[in-house]
A and B are shown apart, each in its own frame.
Chain A
Amino acid sequence: MTTSTEKVAVVRDTYTRYNPSERANHWLVVVCALLLMLSGLAFFHPVFFWLTALFGGGQAARAIHPWIGVVLAISFTFMGIRFFRQNIWTKEDSEWMSHVGDVINHREDKVPEAGRFNAAQKLVFYVMFWSVVTLFLSGLVLWQHYFGDAFPIGLQRFAGLVHAVMAAAMIITMIIHIYAAIWNAGSVRAMTRGPVTGGWLWKHHRRFLREEVGGRK
């Protein structure tokens, strides 16, 4: 008797989309980003202040938020190094981007073939990269307990503004990123478990599939 997963394995080719260390790295970033978003929103707008209760109150949330930021910055650095090469922007990506309307309307036959990451995923990578860099630097300036007196007041005010703007950009990008994973069935499994089917790659990352198949000869 075979289980359903074994059946899939028999009938379909599977490819490893994300290996265990890529997945672990990604989810460490996710945990940090979610905790930072929840505590950060609490400081950003009064309607979210109650979220500080999740962290043990306002003082505790204020104290822990920057430390989570440090963990995120370190784990994102590793992820950035890991995925940097596959996220370099190419002419094909600009072409893909011009078909973004076809993408969201399920007209994939009109969309150019994508490599391991499509242009939208690369944009997510860039926004995340620059968000993390600016949030980390501005966060250091705002870290009252250690650096409260270390920076001139004009820079402190600028850091407050930049931190809020980039956090909003990052949260909006996270919403888009998470939605895209839910919408494109199979993506969540790729990041939680690892494998995707050949058909999934054919549909979403055909150029990558061609390279994979070519490489397997």
Chain B
Amino acid sequence: MAESAGATFGKTMLQSLLGSSKALETAKFLVLILVFLVPLAIYLVQRRRAVQALRVSRDEWQNTFDSMPDLIAILDREHRIVRANRTMREKLQLNATALIGQHCCRLIHQQDTHPDYCPHAKLLKDGASHKEEVYLPVLHGDYSISVTPLYDTAGELTGSIHIIHDITERKQVADELNRKNHEIEQMIYSVSHDLRSPLITFKTFLGYLEQDISAANNKRIGKDLEFIHSAANRMEALLNELLEMSRIGRSILPHKEITFRELATEALDAVAGQISAGRVDVRVSDADLLLCGDRRRLLQIWQNLLDNAVKYMGDQPAPLIEIGVEIQPGETVFYVCDNGIGIAPEHQEKVFGIFEQLDQHSGGVGMGLTMVRRIIELYGGHIRVESAGVGQGSCFRFTLPDACKENM
């Protein structure tokens, strides 16, 4: 019995042992899973995250690359485009497939070889960054082109990052500044010349006066004094007008609303004397417009133009001045036209220059139209004169965009 009991015990033990060996297997399996599969899973999860992060970073970089307002491309050593951002694709109106692999020279410069100034060619020679400012006809503007070298991991030069930056606006501002500077230089030149002239007259005629006084030549003394007087008057007029010119930009009265027809009427009143003396017929257009600006300055425009029109009427048997406004979509053009002596084509730009006078017997010092142009420019406008030539009358046309309110 004991044997049998012992046998039973042994069996049970074995069974339990066997059973526990199964459990051991299970445990071993679980350990295996823990040791190999969990890290694998972790690895896979991490990899997935890394790939995602990479994708996000790539997309971010791509978006950054694409949203740059500059035209950016990566060029290889053969001047071929490897990558191009969206701005470049859009500006050149080409998709990526059409762009990639193209030669920069053909695409941008529309020629088979690169231009002399090509910064990329310079970079390929010396491995340094380069920058050039050029006008690019294909993009209709001025651009600054800069290149930065690109190297591979082995340190070999593979190409460049090629950035085309639009400088058209800056260039325009610079050109405008240059034009203004030139105008100022021209003005200083004219002023110093025109002030020198009466000075010569003073000194010379004072010299004559001394001689004539000692010779008691009364007739000549009178003449000498006359010349000195008129030179002094001219100098005074010059200085007064110069002062007035300098005030145009500085003293601006508060802007007020005034209609074109009110301005025209007021300006006509100011020159009424000359108009009736010259029997000039004046026609004012029916079209009207509300303006806003320094009333006194705006008035000076019409006053000066009307004054000129009357002054340069010549011996026209039926003198006529027409003033008005043409309201067109996008631009409102004012005009003061006459059928007077007209202006030869070669003088048409000259009339706006300071101290330029078409006729020195007309009185004044030749600053009227310079002043008119200056006021018009203050209101963002421009003025030009049209005349078929001498004897054909003249027509001054100008715009005042910053003074024009909505159409009435």
A binds B: no
